[in-house]
Structure 1
Amino acid sequence: MKKRRKPAATAAPAGHAPPPPLNAAFAGLKGMQRELQTRRRAEAEAAARQRHDEARREREADMFRRAVGRVTPLKPNGRAERSLVPPPALPLQRWADDDAVLRESVSDEYGAEWLLESDETLSHRRAGLGPDVVRRLRRGHWTVSAQIDLHGLRVDEARDALGEFLRACVRREQRCVRIIHGKGLGSVNRTPVLKEKVRRWLTQKDEVLAFVEARPNDGGAGVVLALLKASP
């Protein structure tokens, strides 16, 4: 009997790689399947968290509506809303320190007689200012822009109030002010107390350039007109 010849192995055409083994292909499919499952689980968890957050917000909104009750919305008024600019900060501590220094530096027993003009109205002016300043102040050359009434205050209260008043006037650039201290008609023995002390205090104030007793029709002996320095 003749032996059959085995068919010769056919070589793969040039330029074509042999197909991958079946095991490698199955391994790639399993990896893709695991990746797909992981992605689906992540998407499901994210959707569950979103539903949970929405349910929580809805519960909170429902609790708020129950607590507030029925609300009627305001009708639009056509006005444009604007943002409010906060006011500048005030140096409150510095002002408090200034007050403390002022109370310690101003003396009730300060001898100011030698600083006062020797006229019937007892005026005062800082060194370097001419006598015409006092005359113009008495005649009303400067318009009175602020005043303080010290009637009924104790000496300490009047001193503190006067100091704060003068500093505030300088900050607001109010140059001419009226200070009402009274004639002392309601004091014990009808002796004026604040009248003399106010004039002593004013001679010690850096804010004061000059002061003069008011004319009779402006208050006379119960009122002092003061000219303050300009704000720095």
Structure 2
Amino acid sequence: MMPPPDRPADDDSDDAALFRAAIGDVRRLPDAAPPPAGPKPRPRARMAERDEAQAREEFRHALEDSLLEAGDALSYRRDELPPRVFARLRRGEISAQEELDLHGSDVREAEQLLRAFLHDAREHGLGCVRLIHGKGRSGSGGDYVDSRGVPVLKNLVDRMLRQRADILAFHSAPPAQGGTGAVLVLLAPRRR
């Protein structure tokens, strides 16, 4: 076969006609399907969400119903702690190795300080610590009460300590060690 002779550039229409004649009849391909849509959202368990919200609300109301007053003693003991050890803690016979004074702290700061303090105490192998939360009698120095006259820091400390798995027991300190304005906390030994 011989190569086609050189043609002038304005002969492009002949090339298109030759191409169509060589190919023959063509039919249009169907349009490509659109890309798949993103996955559908997972179904929500609306009843479970409502149940959880209701449980949170009931828990909040239960906490509000059990708020401590200024003179009330904080007291908590896990079942695995022998009663005689708890009695020693209650009498102040177990000495605190460190202490944290929360006076002058607002609720958010007090919560952060308390979490960090308990974490450090546990990391350093301390067995007993004292937390000074105040009695909530004065309006100054962070030892404040809420609109109902309830001591804010005292109730915060009580709630946080009850929720922690590393707390074996706690009780308000004897009068010589701060009375109902402080609490002695017995920490669980650190697992290695």
TM-score (norm 1): 0.47
Counterpart in 2 of 1:218? 177
CA drift at 1:148: 0.3
Higher Rg: 1
Q: Residues 123 and 212 of structure 1 are in contact (CA less than 8 Å); yes or no, is this contact kept in structure 2? A: yes
2:155 pairs with 1:196: yes
Give the 3 Å change call, closer, same or farther, for CA 143–113 of structure 1 in structure 2.
farther
> Unaligned stretches of 5+ in structure 1?
1-107, 115-119
CA shift, 1:180, in A, is 0.3
Distance 1:152 1:137, change over 3 A: same
Of the structure 1 ranges 137-146 and 214-223, higher mean CA displacement relative to structure 2 is found in 137-146
Q: Tell whether the 8 Å contact from 2:172 to 2:180 is kept in structure 1 after alignment.
A: yes
For each residue in 1:177-219, what CA deviation from the matched residue of structure 2 results, as whole angstroms up to 9, or x when unmatched? 0000001122256641111121111001122110000111111
Task: Select 2:165's aligned residue among 201, 206, 223.
Answer: 206
Deviations 1:150-183 (A, max 9, x none): 1111111111110110010011111100000001
**What is the number of residues matched between the two proteins?**
120
Residues 158-197 of structure 1 aligned to structure 2 (within 5 Å):
158-186=110-138, 187-188=144-145, 191-197=150-156
What TM-score, normalized by structure 2, do the two folds share?
0.56
Distance 1:140 1:221, change over 3 A: closer
Is the 2:173–2:179 Cα contact (8 Å) retained in structure 1?
yes
Q: Counterparts in 2 of 1:39-54, with a 5 A limit?
A: none
Code of the residue aligned with 1:218 in structure 2: it is Q
Cα 1:175–1:112 change in 2 (3 A) is: farther
Question: For 1:127 and 1:205, how far apart are their aligned partners in 2?
Answer: 14
Q: Cα deviation per residue 1:100-133 (whole Å; 9 max; x = unaligned)?
A: xxxxxxxx9474999xxxxx73410112223222
Contact 1:212 1:225 in 2 (8 A): yes
User: Are 2:75 and 1:123 equivalent residues in the alignment?
Assistant: yes
Alpha-carbon separation, structure 2, partners of 1:177 and 1:218: 12
Partner residue in 2 for 1:228: 187
Q: How does 1:118-157 map to 2 (within 5 A)?
A: 121-157=73-109
Counterpart code for 1:149: D
Overall identity of the aligned pairs, in %: 43
Q: Which has the higher contact order (CA 8 A, sep 6+)?
A: 2
Report the counterpart of residue 6 of structure 1 in structure 2. Answer: none
Where structure 2 has 5 or more consecutive residues not aligned to the other structure, the ranges are: 1-58, 67-71, 139-143
Aligned residue number for residue 59 of structure 1 = none
Distance 1:228 1:182, change over 3 A: same
RMSD: 2.5
